[in-house]
Amino acid sequence: MPDGRPSVVKLELELYTHVMDVQQLRYFVAVAEEGTLRAAARRLHMAQPPLSHAMAKLERELNSTLLVRSPRGVELTEAGKVLLAESYEIIKRIDSARLMVRDTARRGPETLRVGLVGGLIAAADLTAPIIRAFRRDFAHIRLELQDMSLDRRVDPLVSGELDVVIERPPYVDDRLELVTLFNEPRVLCISADHPLAAEPELPSAEVLEVPMVEFVTPHPEQTEFWSLDTLRGGHAPRRSQSSASAISDMQLAVVSGQGATTAALSAWRFGLQTPLLRAIALPDAPPSVVALAYLRERSRPATAAFVETAQAITRNMINLVPGGRLPG
């Protein structure tokens, strides 16, 4: 036997160039942790001679002394300490792979669950192209789509119900990773009989006194943004409260005279537009941002593939979005 002190690099090379039974590594870990062959054999529910034989075989395969035996038990050589650290990592990876394989076999093809806030309005005119491109380029991944209400966005990501959401920031949540795709203009939505209804566009400063509907959501930063509070430096006058879970709720609140609201231009074009409402362009208002949101700690290759696909489609097809602009 060698003297038991090979270099770490040499041992690692030998470790990966030999075919080893992972069960041998589990035996080795038990011996190292218990400190004696007898205690390890008891822990492994096996006789001591086969365990001793397995350790000798492992040393022969690695051409290294791993254990120094004495009447008090066994001690690890430097090579043994290296192998112990590597064994923990190898066993962890193998156990993780086994669980992943079993989970995949149980669930079938890999699935990516995507939430669309506002349905097709989520990424405006690019929602459908992004989805089609992902399904074309990643046909092996099953894509599940879920129409998201306006008041339920973060919880499905945290619970694992969804993997990624096409979203409209602002958001204050450190758990989320936000990837901006593009910006688009905002408009002021008012009833057709409002005194300002004939105006095609106005500076934001001239609409700050317009009564606004306060859409109650779990995220106050969203309410403040869409009500122009960030420009006003305070709450809009004479707000009525309304629960907004869909574009139709916004439409109904404004038509019924509860107040005005701002919206992305695409939300107006896709869902809000009606003879009972008018849209006034707000060219100087902070734009509506379209972004992808996902839980940072749960990101996986399928999520990254969806992000990359959405970014590529946005770069190549931004001209499809009226007023749309790439970030920066």
Query: For residue range 99-109, what is the model confidence (pLDDT) as tens digits?
Result: 766 666 665 56
Q: At what angle do helices 301-317 and 127-137 cross, to 10 degrees?
A: 130
Is the pLDDT reported for residue 7 higher than 70?
no
pLDDT attached to residue 243: 54
pLDDT given for residue 155 in this prediction: 77
The domains of the chain, with CATH numbers, are 8-107 (1.10.10.10), 111-183+288-320 (3.40.190.10), 186-281 (3.40.190.10)
**Band of pLDDT at residue 4, cut at 50, 70 and 90:** very low
Angle between the 78-107 and 8-17 helix axes, to the nearest 10 degrees? 40
Query: What's the average model confidence in pLDDT over 11-22?
Result: 51
pLDDT average, residue stretch 105-116: 79
Average pLDDT over residues 32-58: 90
Task: Among 2-16, 138-152, 164-178, 288-302, name the most confident range.
Answer: 288-302
**pLDDT above 70 (res 85):** yes
Global pTM value:
0.64
Residue 131 tokens read as 């989805």
Average per-residue pLDDT in the chain?
84
* Structure confidence at residue 316 (pLDDT): 96
The structure tokens 């005194």 sit at 195
Instruction: Encode pLDDT of 189-241 as tens digits.
Output: 999 999 999 999 999 999 998 888 876 666 778 888 888 888 887 776 655 66
The H-or-E segment that residue 6 falls in is none
Helices (H), 4-122: 8-17, 22-34, 37-44, 48-62, 78-107
For residues 276 and 170, the model is more confident at 276
d(CA 210, CA 197): 12
Q: What's the rounded mean pLDDT across residues 152-169?
A: 84
106 vs 93, higher pLDDT: 93
**Residue 119: what pLDDT?**
87
pLDDT at 12: 45
**Mean pLDDT throughout 128-150?**
92
Q: CA-CA distance, 227 to 260, in Å (whole number)? A: 9
